[in-house]
Structure 1
């Protein structure tokens, strides 16, 4: 048997091994980070396509992906409660929120009061957390495939540099600019963008704001024209009661983006434009 034949046979088995034991990532923003880290080695698989993690419908293909994965990275019960049943006892599943590698913030009421023993799960919006997640994925995958350790770690270092350079370019000096949100999903952007949360219309994007909350926001508005960050699905009839506003539709889950850094930069630009269009 020729050496060339043996080499080709080994390459074939390696390819089959990767195909049978992929890296599976639950939600889109973490998938985008994983793509950065595994570039040149493998292509991670996104489990919840066009799903936020809060409301999950697992297909037979989803279940097959979970069964075949050598590593499953998910946020954890606080963000993806429907996945707990299938992942909590899976030895190949790792929760980012349970890992201890990120800094978390508590949930807040619609009036900005921190809620004890809670966690805001939109942790990827903090550039430092995004970098930590990148190195975490590199470490986990390097343990499973040490032959690719250098590639994983070099990719993680490159991602960290790219992410931090972009985020630091938005660090503004002076007084933090106030903003409203339809629901409180953007507080991890506040430090890097120098923002100050002034309230939300509702604590659940699926629940309409109360008359009392709309009155509270109008009575306490910091600027005559306030910036309002909201999902595209937010009801115009509800937030227009707060006019004049600078409205900005944003997607904290980056579902339309194919690159994490580019997606974060777009979010930053949209948010910055919104707060700059507000005025006293």
Structure 2
């Protein structure tokens, strides 16, 4: 009897030690923003949970790193971020704190569709460093390409070089996740990196990727059906964050209130956008939850346009594997609800 008890205790101890070892080998994963965290969380289901840096209603455009974030970066085995054009606050911390981690810049993921920043017309002329006061919106380039007409015509200008204020020519719009095709590419890269880092759980990561792709395919179909009735109705957004969603589903953003959410627009810019709302007959002007909603009221004053809210970075949503789906459905539903209202 005592021998049997000793054998049972030894087996239990070995099982516990093996389980603890497996847990210890699970990589510590840190993700920058909620939409990417959601996709990585879906890949890691059944293995572990990644940590999130930009939580709550914070925006990566204006975020300041917290001590707890710094500690997580220093302890991480894998760090996922979109890249230099979005989470600028992470550039130096990744150099100093993420030394032992595998740092994955997802804007380099294979299979991503990358769209240049839009420039000119209702998306405003961008002032480049050393070119103060130079108006690109009303200038054709050396090849005769008119950027103003391009922006007003809702041409995504793939392959053309454009830029945000303070960024170099040739940079891309970094709101990559707002296309389900890009979400698939991001998820595939995350699964690949995690499987290489943690081969013991590679089968789980790959199985989760297959399941996620099935869900993304169903989501894509649902969103296309949701926005189909309002595809021909122009609207104005707070900042130009929705190009990937627009490009994928064929909806018609006619301009943005501000070029960069770090810099609030002046009175002249607001007047220009109000005039654009009147000229185009824009049905809706959309605010974002992180930024001042009064600006939208200023823009629609004296016009028949209605106001709505879009949340491209999931500021109001709880993090987790389902967040991405809630986020994308919310954008489609907000567009459909506001644009579908009678004028």
Report the TM-score, using the length of structure 1 for normalisation.
0.88
- State the structure with bigger RCO (CA 8 A, min sep 6), 1 or 2: 2
Q: Corresponding residue for 2:118? A: 108
Match of 1:269 among 302, 319, 333: 333
For the structure 1 residues 192 and 173, does the alpha-carbon distance in structure 2 shift closer, same or farther, using more than 3 Å as the test? farther
Match of 2:174 among 97, 100, 121: 121
Which entry has the higher C-alpha Rg, 1 or 2?
2
Aligned counterparts of 1:175 and 1:125: Cα–Cα separation in 2 = 17
For the structure 1 residues 41 and 223, does the alpha-carbon distance in structure 2 shift closer, same or farther, using more than 3 Å as the test? same
Please say if residues 39 and 155 of structure 1, whose CA atoms lie closer than 8 Å, have aligned partners that are also in contact. Answer: yes
What SS does the aligned partner of 1:277 have? coil
Aligned counterparts of 2:342 and 2:238: Cα–Cα separation in 1 = 16
Give the 5 Å matches for 1:67-216: 67-88=74-95, 90=99, 91-109=101-119, 111-112=122-123, 113=151, 115=162, 116-171=169-224, 172=228, 176-205=232-261, 206-211=263-268, 214-215=271-272
Deviations 1:202-255 (A, max 9, x none): 212341244355336525746535221221333244223362212111111113
Aligned counterparts of 1:44 and 1:242: Cα–Cα separation in 2 = 47
Give the 5 Å matches for 1:231-270: 231-232=288-289, 233-235=292-294, 236-241=296-301, 243-258=303-318, 259=322, 260-270=324-334
Aligned counterparts of 2:172 and 2:282: Cα–Cα separation in 1 = 30
Range that drifts further, 64-73 or 102-111: 102-111
State the number of aligned residues: 277
For the structure 1 residues 25 and 225, does the alpha-carbon distance in structure 2 shift closer, same or farther, using more than 3 Å as the test? closer
Structure 2: runs of 5 or more not aligned: 1-6, 124-150, 152-156, 163-168
Match of 1:34 among 25, 36, 40: 40
For the structure 1 residues 130 and 265, does the alpha-carbon distance in structure 2 shift closer, same or farther, using more than 3 Å as the test? same
For the structure 1 residues 168 and 192, does the alpha-carbon distance in structure 2 shift closer, same or farther, using more than 3 Å as the test? farther
For the structure 1 residues 93 and 169, does the alpha-carbon distance in structure 2 shift closer, same or farther, using more than 3 Å as the test? same
